[in-house]
Amino acid sequence: MADPNAVLVTSRRRVLALLIGMGLCGFVLVAQAVKLQVIDTEFLQGEGEARFLRQVEIPTMRGSIVDRNGEPLAVSTPVESVWAHPGELLQEASDRIPMLASLLGQDAEAIERRLTQRADRQFVWIIRRIPPHLADRVRELDIPGVFLQREYRRFYPTAEISSQVVGFTNIDEVGQEGLELAYDNWLTGQTGAKRVIQDRLGRIVEDVELIREALPGRELRLTIDRRLQDLAYRELMATIARHQARSGSVVVLDIPTGEVLAMVNYPSYNPNGRSRSSDGMRNRALTDVLEPGSIVKPFVVAAAMEAGIAHPEMLVDTSPGTMQVSGHTIRDIRNFGEMSVTGLLTKSSNVGIVQLAMAMDASHLWSMYSRLGFGDVTGTGFPGESAGVLRDHERWRKLEQATLSYGYGLSVTPLQLARAIAAIADQGRLRQPSFILDSDNPPQAVIDPLLAEQVSQMLETVTQTGGTATRAAVDGYRVAAKTGTSRKSSAGGYSNKYVASIAGFAPMVRPRIAVVAVVNEPSAGDYYGGLVAAPLFGQVMKDALRLMNVPPDDMNGLMALNENGVDVREVQP
């Protein structure tokens, strides 16, 4: 039989051991609690913050695009978008998804399917950029797992009128076309970040810390005049409709600076909508090329005069109105007989111009075209700009040299034509066209000033009685211009489709505005540049001169005289 005393001692020892063990455990727990809550608080704080403290992005506004007068062409407006926490919405309020879908005009099954497929995520877009009144109704529903987030939406006040120049952004406000793409880095702001405390529904309870300040994008001020852009677009649309043409372009340049005052194309598109055809999205004035036809004849005359083989009064016999070059017949619309070099431009004689071209070295004609910028991009930095085609003169055949003199065998853009005719107007100084106001744009001397002045005076006869561009004249102003009519190339030769065009400038005294108008495939009967493109040119030129406050030539002449009656332009370097 066991000793009662021994059993008692053993029991006491066990109780003591148990008490000691419990005491040690309690000490460890208390020590750990002290460590976590007093000495080392970061762990529990971090765990708590991980559940309630979040870093959220602060959206920022994309920079506006405005015209030269500060009128908006592209602006960003605040909107709200709806997103969901898939797990929370499906677990706590899946039965309310149809109500949300009905309010947003979406399919409930599609929303639920998208959420189910992304159930492991914490963020899924439901719909983006909704109107304010709709956002308020979503907020009133107070559906668990459904939230609203501030974003910005791009809006284009001029719609299709400026769309091909300005371009557009995608839903995340990243530039996709036009100047929106070319200057995306300039326009894009820097999003900010902050730490906030959120409740279990994801609502912000308190702003804790600003991590990075949001910086809005910078404003982009263009050389475009919104008023002139609108007028040019409407005149182009009317011309396209009147002549049942396929497309067209108009370019307006400020001669002293090279600034693009207007650039319009038709067909166009509305960047505010979702439907955008590839045909309407092209900025044809920069991306599409054409064989310019007779518009290049002034440059051939300039090259011939520069080479010393012609002068304005020199007579050229164009009889009988045709000539043969390498077995190919070159024709005028009629037999003009003997006429001056100036008359070759006035009447647009192919035969006379070819005679001048064949009398000079191919390298010299090529040099003139090259100096005027043909075969090279203009340097605007516009996405997709075409350089056109100007083959090296060493590869020219005799017939090619002849056809190049009246605008076949080379390809140019309307902007290249505007730049070249502006150089003639600006005493032989070539400038890089610019879309950005106050850009540094030094001129490059490519033609002797006296020679350029002579060619300008010769071009004035084209808009006067007997010339091919009388419909391009503007009351009160002396206008210089050259028309072009070219057949469109097709497989195996040239088709019966035409391009009507014109390039010119005004006023003759202190030239200020250069305009190029191109009408592609007119099909209502008329197709000559003087009948189709010249009236469009005349109206756009009239609008541009008025809006830019350019005084008529007689006032310009008076302004050019000093107190002694001497023309101050003659003593300018």
Q: Which residues are catalytic?
A: 294
Distance, CA of 127 to CA of 148 (rounded, Å): 10
Q: How are beta strands 513-520 and 493-506 bridged, if at all?
A: antiparallel
CA gap 448, 201 in Å, rounded = 76
DSSP 246: S
Nearest in space to 167 (alpha carbons), one of 68, 259, 280:
280
Scored b (16 or more CB within 10 A) or e, 274-284 reads: eeeeeebbbbb
Which residue in this structure is represented by tokens 């009685």? 465
**To 5 degrees, how large is the angle CA 109–CA 114–CA 116?**
95
Give the contacts of 223 (CB within 8 A, at least 6 positions apart). 68, 254, 257, 259, 260, 261, 434, 435, 436, 437, 439
Tokens coding 226:
């919104």
CB 164 within 8 A of CB 178: yes
- Burial state string for 336-354 with b = 16 or more CB within 10 A and e = fewer than 16: beebbbbbbbbbbbbbbbb
**Contact by Cβ (8 Å): 149, 83:** yes
Q: Output the six-digit token pair for 369.
A: 């075209």
Among candidates 347, 359, 572, which has minimal Cα distance to 462? 347
Quote the tokens at residue 337: 């007989």
Separation CA 3–CA 112 (nearest Å): 77
Q: Based on the number of CB atoms within 10 Å of its own CB, is 306 exposed (0-12), middle (13-18) or buried (19 or more)?
A: middle
Rg of the Cα trace of the chain?
37
Cβ atoms of 487 and 563 closer than 8 Å: no
Report the Cα 276 to chain-centroid distance in Å. 15
Q: What is the 3-state secondary structure (H, E, C) of 289-330?
A: CECCHHHHHHHHHHHHHHCCCCCCCCEEECCCCEEEECCEEE
**Which residue carries 């009905």 as its tokens?**
102
Do 142 and 78 form a contact (C-beta atoms < 8 A)? Answer: no
Closest by Cα among 347, 390, 335 to 367? 390
- Chain centre distance of CA 361: 39
Angle separating helix axes 86-93 and 108-117, nearest 10 degrees = 120
Amino acid occupying residue 63? G
Backbone angles phi, psi at 78, to 5 degrees: -70, 135
Q: How many residues are given for the chain? A: 573
**In the 8-state DSSP scheme, what is residue 56?**
E
